[in-house]
Structure 1
């Protein structure tokens, strides 16, 4: 969704060349090489490469590819993880009812991946998020989310810190969440770094609601120094500035983020459009929002907001 010694974690893909392309976000190259590789690694890699570029309406075909992978290679953790990822993306894009119908399959696929390869960070991390974000009536479980952390407390201490931070944030124990995140050694594993950044982003949202923008800004300035090649810190600095109505500063951060790793997965044009609207620049706002609504990876909520704003702009 991995070559970090501190984590003692297993790569999603055992083929080093495929894993390297996945880590670097070079998805078109990954798909081409995966087709030549074949086997469970090739099928799983193709699916992950296509998922990274897919949008609503494309996930059913990718779920079928994941099912083929699992049917042909039932003992492949990579196949089960890739299928769970495809199901999860369809669940997120298809509305509440669709999500409720799919969540059981998402959970089962990820749990099977963890069972087959307990060291695979992505599968364990994704499964914990399912347990924490889904209502109990649909299979959510704080207790099971905690079990996932305890299982790697000794073998993967940095992963355990992240999982504990999420548990603390879920319980609104914000100081504990911050302490766990601050103690993490980020290492070189991009997927792990991105999940840590996502956890910090959640904490920053809480701080902004409390009016603690300086606290959020200081943290992401530090993260921008630690991870200068990733877009998320600059993007979050933009969000913090925008929340303080410093829209010109926000725009500078968004533009810095645009050329960095992981930018394609962030709604940068949406936020750029909002900032220009708040500055009264209707033409630039319209241009950014029109670009955004063409992005097939955009989330349902962001698309609805962008289309509403475009109507307001006329």
Structure 2
């Protein structure tokens, strides 16, 4: 699931984690198309084939980083960092390589202790800045840098003021992208009504990168409202998300998360089942297992947790451990 942009709450590491778990943009290549469709196994197969023919292909190296971060960041993070570093070393003027390196380092920072994570922060920020400097038209890199600014503490170069400056500079190139950045900033500052107006006003062509950024802005807004327990507003945003992006599971998943927060597990189950049909990732099955278990359906809960453990993208270590523990309980 895309990570919500929200107020720094508990620690610098939590902020950095939320910021860094972002995939690099998909490229206009066969593996880029597979990435856009979230067919990660096929994307990696195609990227590997490209690298077998041209081991320093920058877009294939960056795509491989994207696959790893999206599917198994905790298990393969060192590989992702090595690929990002190799991409930058071979192509120091390639924006996609720097964006990939920043993403890989961010993934590594998530699993590090707080002091280690803070040590990575400057390198991550610089990688995203370099990606933007090398290709000012790389909108995805701009959003990566924005996310960093909004979530990282000022001591490592974060800050809302830097995000606003980036949005203002982006407006000269893409007013629509800048407006979505402003929506992210408004959500970060708990100005939810403004964030909603800004995100809604953007007219993005279906399937475009800008449409994906709008989708993620709505998702972040819905999750922010949910965390603030503004349930009616959160419900409205998630319903709008589902209607605007029927090929995404996020609207369904968000509505299910809302119902779980309210203890309405029976209502969450069909939403999660629909979400699993749209995109059968581990997080959806894990949440489905929780609601089935809460409703006393042990057999189906067991099956959902087992699917969660075998799904791609993989669960986090914490969720995997909990899913395994619940399976043991259900088998007793």
**Structure 1's 307 and 44: CA in aligned 2 closer, same or farther, altered over 3 A?**
same
Query: Equivalent residue for 1:48?
Result: 66
Q: Unaligned stretches of 5+ in structure 2?
A: 3-23
1:307, CA displacement in angstroms? 5.5
Q: Which moves more between the two structures, 212-221 or 131-140?
A: 212-221
Superposed, 1:295-310 pairs within 5 Å as 297-303=314-320, 305-306=322-323
Matched-pair contact (CA < 8 Å) for 2:289–2:305: yes
- Whether the 8 Å CA contact 2:31–2:42 is kept in 1: the answer is no
Q: Summarize deviations over 1:185-226 as a string: whole Å, max 9, x none.
A: 232346544443333233323434555433322332232122
Spell out, residue by residue over 1:71-119, the C-alpha distance to the aligned partner (whole angstroms, 9 max, x if none): 0111011111111111111222334333222222111111111111111
Query: Matches of 1:250 and 1:193 in 2, distance apart?
Result: 27
Segments of 5+ residues of structure 1 without an aligned counterpart are 2-10
> Counterpart in 1 of 2:219?
201
The question of whether the paired residues in 2 share the 8 Å contact of 1:56 and 1:90 is answered with yes
**Corresponding residue pairs, total:** 303
| In structure 1, C-alpha distance between the alignment counterparts of 2:272 and 2:199, rounded to whole Å | 24
TM value normalised by structure 1: 0.84
Pick aligned residue for 1:24 from 31, 37, 42: 37
Which of 179, 196, 200 is matched with 1:182 structurally?
200
Measured in 1, the distance between the counterparts of 2:258 and 2:202 equals 23
- Relative to structure 1, the CA distance from residue 161 to residue 299 in structure 2 (aligned partners, 3 Å threshold; closer, same or farther) is farther
Larger mean Cα displacement after TM superposition, 68-77 or 21-30: 21-30
C-alpha separation in 2, matches of 1:241 and 1:143: 35
Rounded Cα–Cα distance in structure 2 between residues aligned with 1:310 and 1:137: 43
Q: Are 1:23 and 1:190, in contact at CA under 8 Å, matched by a contact in 2?
A: no
- Per mean C-alpha deviation after superposition, the further-off stretch among 70-79 and 163-172 is 163-172
Q: SS in structure 1 opposite 2:74? A: coil
Q: Which residue of 2 aligns with 1:269?
A: 285
Is contact 1:44-1:78 (8 Å) kept? yes
Is the Cα–Cα contact under 8 Å of residues 94 and 131 in structure 2 kept in the other structure? Answer: yes
Shift in Å at residue 139 of structure 1? 2.4
Q: TM-score, normalised by structure 2?
A: 0.80
1:90 has 2:108 as partner: yes
